[in-house]
Amino acid sequence: MVHIRALHALAFDDGGTVSQLVDALRAARAPIEPMSFVGALGGRIVGHTMLTAGRLDAPRRIVDVYVLSPLGVLPSFQQQGIGTKLVSHALAAAAQKRIPLVFLEGSPRYYGRRGFEKATQFDFRAPSLRIPEPAFQVARLSSYESWMTGTLVYSDPFWALDCVGLRDRAPQ
């Protein structure tokens, strides 16, 4: 775990909030088990991502879904396809567990070529108005059905650590 914490601190350069998020997500009680994926090179962990439980408040019932977050690759190992492989493994694992949907917040330029689509076009609503619409993305997996629409509800660690959407910058 120390490696993974340090990895995200370096990848995100954010003072450690993402590292805390990883710990909190692993410790949280959840309706579906979290899954972790690591990329290793020469025996060293150089990339990491997680799938953790979210809930989709669909008209018919609550649907258990995954949220992919965070995704980090050590700066000196970026641009080598490690992030791409981690995303692809995570989606395959979610599909194998018959989880219908994986959501995330991120760059459409990056994730749009890695299995994700703009979520609002399928009648999904983001958990916060502070998430820019193009950043709210979804991967629809083999057990997805078209009645599965509605609002994504994040697990508590995302709120407790204020890791949702974008905040206004304080005036200079």
Ligand X SMILES: CC(C)(COP(=O)(O)OP(=O)(O)OC[C@H]1O[C@@H](n2cnc3c(N)ncnc32)[C@H](O)[C@@H]1OP(=O)(O)O)[C@@H](O)C(=O)NCCC(=O)NCCS
Positions touching ligand X (CB under 6 A) are 11-12, 71-73, 78-84, 106-107, 109-110
* Residue 44 burial (C-beta neighbours within 10 Å; 0-12, 13-18, 19+): exposed
Residue 21 or 58 with smaller CB distance to ligand X: 21
Residue 88 or 149 with smaller CB distance to ligand X: 88
Residue 49 or 58 with smaller CB distance to ligand X: 49
Residue 65 or 82 with smaller CB distance to ligand X: 82
Q: Are 65 and 54 in contact (CB under 8 A)?
A: yes
- In whole angstroms, the minimum distance from the beta carbon of 122 to ligand X comes to 20
- DSSP letters spanning 11-77: HH-STTHHHHHHHHHHHS--SS--EEEEEEETTEEEEEEEEEEEEEE-SSSEEEEEEEEEEEE-GGG
- In whole angstroms, the minimum distance from the beta carbon of 60 to ligand X comes to 30
- In whole angstroms, the minimum distance from the beta carbon of 91 to ligand X comes to 14
Number of other residues whose CB lies within 10 A of the CB of residue 32 = 16
Residue whose beta carbon is closest to ligand X: 83
C-alpha 95/C-alpha 89 separation (Å) is 10
Residues 6+ apart with CB under 8 A from 24: 157, 160, 161
- In whole angstroms, the minimum distance from the beta carbon of 47 to ligand X comes to 6
- In whole angstroms, the minimum distance from the beta carbon of 80 to ligand X comes to 5
Residue 145 or 162 with smaller CB distance to ligand X: 162
